Amino acid sequence: MTSPIERRALITGASSGIGKATALAFAKAGFHVALVSRSESKLEAVAEAARKTGVTAKAYALDLADIEQVREKVAAIADSFGSIDVLVNNAGMGYTGEIMSTPLSEWQQVIDLNLTSVFQCIQGILPSMRDRGSGIIINVASIAGQQPFPGWGAYNVSKAALIALSKTLAAEERAKGIRVVTISPGAVNTPIWDTEAVQVELNRSAMLTPEIVAQSILHMALVPEQAVIEELTLMPNAGVL
């Protein structure tokens, strides 16, 4: 009897929202999961829940906003946890504010976390994927990257740029056996709506749930190697964003 294939996923922003739901969905599907986020206590709770499915799950506290250290630390996580088959770049922040009134420091904060940290995570994981000639990189963008919403300037730009990063990476790495996927969800009911940087009121009960998005991410990761879902736009049926 052949033993099951060992698959490992690294998920950023895994302490809550889409990242937490994705971590648990991947664990239930048999993936060993490396969980990355700022909050060690929240991460450990998610890791403990993932372990109950019978997989290895480890929490790695890392502030992805500190972009100077991301590449090196993500590479070190992969070295200690084992070869990463699936990288899910989910960490990010919301931000509302018109472009004219956005301070440079806040603009940079959004771009650093939503775009540059992803770029650095990719550079940390890509060398080992290239060595093996396989791997999937899944970037969580947003519908805001496809159809910009007024009052969400820096966020729109960060997600549009993330989509461009994904397309460029896919073109560069396809011949090396590496698949790159972009998922652009509409509004998702996560703690992002409770943060100080987001000042807007919407009907959260009509939004997508993190679990629905997580199932879509897992589905994209499980597509046979001969195929790739390059882009997926996932919208709530109720018509909220």
Compute the distance between CA of residue 218 and CA of residue 162 in angstroms, rounded to an integer. 20
The number of residues in the chain equals 241
Q: Does domain 7-234 have CATH number 3.30.1490.190?
A: no
In this predicted structure, what is the pLDDT of residue 203? 64
- Cα–Cα distance list, 101 to 84, 110, 150, 196, 224 (Å): 41, 14, 12, 16, 46
Residues 115 and 165 sit within 8 Å (Cβ to Cβ): yes
**pLDDT attached to residue 155:** 93
What SS3 state is found at 204? Answer: helix
What's the pLDDT at 1? 39
Q: For this structure, is 155 an active site residue?
A: yes
Phi (first) and psi of residue 220, to 5 degrees: -65, -35
Q: Domain extents for the chain?
A: 7-234
SS3 readout for 85-152: CEEEECCCCCCCECHHHCCHHHHHHHHHHHHHHHHHHHHHHHHHHHHHCCEEEEEECCHHHCCCCCCE
pLDDT tens digit sequence for 84-134: 999 999 999 888 899 999 999 999 999 999 999 999 999 999 999 999 999
At residue 2, the pLDDT reads: 37
The lowest-confidence range among 55-59, 61-65, 155-159, 188-192 is: 188-192
Give the Cα separation of 192 and 17 in Å (integer): 8
Question: In what helix (H) or strand (E) does residue 212 lie, and over which residues does it extend?
Answer: helix 210-221
Q: What is the pLDDT of residues 162-198, one digit of tens each?
A: 999 999 999 999 999 999 999 998 876 665 656 666 6
Choose the catalytic residue: 75, 155, 183, 214: 155
Q: Give me the pLDDT at residue 152, please.
A: 85
- Please state, for a pLDDT cut of 70, what percent of the chain lies above it: 88
* pLDDT at residue 183 in the model: 95
pLDDT band at 61 (very low <50, low <70, confident <90, very high): very high
Model confidence at 3: pLDDT above 50: no
Model pLDDT, residue 4: 57
